[in-house]
Amino acid sequence: MRASPIRIPTVSNDTEWDFCFHLSQQTKIPTYQQTEELYPTGGSEESEEDTKAKEKTIDCMSLPREKLVQSQKKTAQLIKEKMNTQANQELIRCVILSRITFGEEHWKCAQALASLAYGYLTLRGLPAQAKKHAESAKNTLLTWKGKTTSDKEKKEILDALVMLYYTLGVAWLLQNHGREAYFNLQKAERNMKELKELCKGGICPHGLQVSEKDLTVALGRASLAIHRLNLALAYFEKAVGNVIATKGDRTSDLVTLYEEMAQIEQLRRNHDQAIQYLQQAHSICISLFTEVSPQTAEASVLLAKAYTMSGEARHMDVAEIYFIKSISAYQTALGPEDCQTLMAIEDFYKWLIHNGKKEEAYRLIKCSLKSQDISYGNCSEKVAETYYNMGKTCFAKGDLRKAIRLLRKCLMIQVLLYGSEHSKSRGTKNVLTLLQRVSNSSSRWRRKATPGRWDSVCKVIEA
């Protein structure tokens, strides 16, 4: 399912934002007047009219201020209830009410923008909007010239800086810009350290949304994206330590961390260590979700692949056992027609072919064909691919007639899907033509088309 088009609320394309924005412009108090008008100082002579005007202004501002508090509480409740879209809309209201109450250039407005950016990232999964609002918040905070008179304000500003730099870092990471991601996440880390120092012996700002664990994991992923494997592993080890200290060693939070650490160890070619991490993840899944859960099935697939990647003969039988366990768990938990079940079958099929077990591979993929028809439709790309693989397997076994029949079915679907001139259709047609020539040729040519000749045929076609 394709994601909805990215749409950044602006004055021109969001009616709710548009209405509130113009309202804020009409009622906004100039920055230089805010302190005097909202918090009048004594010692100066004022006329009765001036005093009444200021009292009237304060009365006018009390309503937006009250609504801002209400909106903040409502946002927290909506997030708790996992009503993400509604929570994000409420964060937009918080920004507008902050503009009305404090002014567009006030750090409180930047704080609201940072929360909105974080909301677009974590609630909606929209990195473009997240970056847009985080940059706006950063510009305001870095150019703020007012005085922060209390530690509480300093803590809130640092909290906002952590949030916006974390948001920028993860947004860049989601868009495959590892260097920019790491640069911003390092800034978030420095601000978090300063915030922790400031909070010693006191209470940190209520509702600190970016946890140390989240930031550490993001730094690990950014380090991996820029190929600093040792640094990435160190961050993940730190994150595991944080999770174990707070939640124990049997929490689901550890599963993903162990799986990502295994990926790093595979890149470092430490396959035994990767297998150990995946065994820990698999053990946690069994204890939390049972042996026939989707979580355990996924952990089994990863273990099977890890054993395969080691390249050691002693691991091949174990890999096969975990492939079978994963398929069985997926079929029990999700059903034989589920996409995850079919993907696990496809992975096992490729493994069987790679290890020369053609008969088992053919039986496996043939049994899954009916489920694929139900799940993807009998005229789908996946079904065409399955017919192609079955034909390839039959050719490798020496059954040329069956291979031709299966490839004809594949070609028929591809022509319906892409047309006869598409590269996939032409490729299958060329292979089919060559196989038909081999089938009609002398016995000498048939003998050359016996098992193991598929790659040679493909090379001829490509040439």
CA distances from 385 to 71, 137, 159, 331, 416 (A): 52, 49, 51, 21, 14
Per-residue model confidence as pLDDT tens digits over 75-129: 888 988 989 999 999 999 999 999 999 888 899 999 999 999 999 999 999 999 9
* pLDDT of 105: 86
C-alpha–C-alpha distance, residues 79 and 76, integer Å: 5
Residue 149 per-residue DSSP state: -
pTM: 0.77
Backbone dihedral region of 146: left (phi > 0), alpha (psi from -120 to 50 degrees) or beta? beta
Residues near 6 by beta carbon (within 8 Å), at least 6 away in sequence? 126, 128, 129
Q: How does pLDDT run across 153-172, given as a tens digit for each residue? A: 888 888 999 999 999 999 99
The pLDDT value recorded for residue 457 is 54
Q: What is the pLDDT of residue 449?
A: 47
What is the residue-level pLDDT of the chain in tens, covering all 463 positions?
444 333 333 333 444 444 444 444 444 444 434 433 333 434 444 555 555 555 555 455 568 888 988 888 998 889 889 899 999 999 999 999 999 998 888 999 999 999 999 999 999 999 999 999 999 999 888 877 666 668 888 888 889 999 999 999 999 999 999 999 999 999 999 999 998 888 875 556 555 479 999 999 999 999 999 999 999 999 999 999 999 999 999 999 999 999 999 999 999 999 999 999 999 999 999 999 999 999 999 999 999 999 999 988 889 999 999 999 999 999 999 999 999 999 999 999 999 999 989 899 999 999 999 999 999 998 999 999 999 999 988 888 888 889 999 999 999 999 999 999 999 999 999 999 888 888 776 445 444 544 445 455 545 433 3
Gyration radius of the chain's alpha carbons = 31
Query: What does residue 182 show for φ and ψ, rounded to 5 degrees?
Result: -65, -40
**Integer CA distances (angstroms), 24 to 69, 95, 141, 261, 361, in order:** 17, 10, 20, 48, 66
DSSP 27-75: HPPPHHHHHHHHS--SSS---HHHHHHHHHHHHHHHHHHHHHHHHHHHH
Please enumerate in sequence order all residues whose Cβ is within 8 A of that of 373, keeping only pairs 6 or more positions apart, or say none: 383
- Which among 334, 321, 324 is positioned nearest to 289, based on CA atoms? 334
- Angle (CA) 170 70 74, round 5°: 50
Residue 61 has what pLDDT?
53
pLDDT at position 440 is: 75
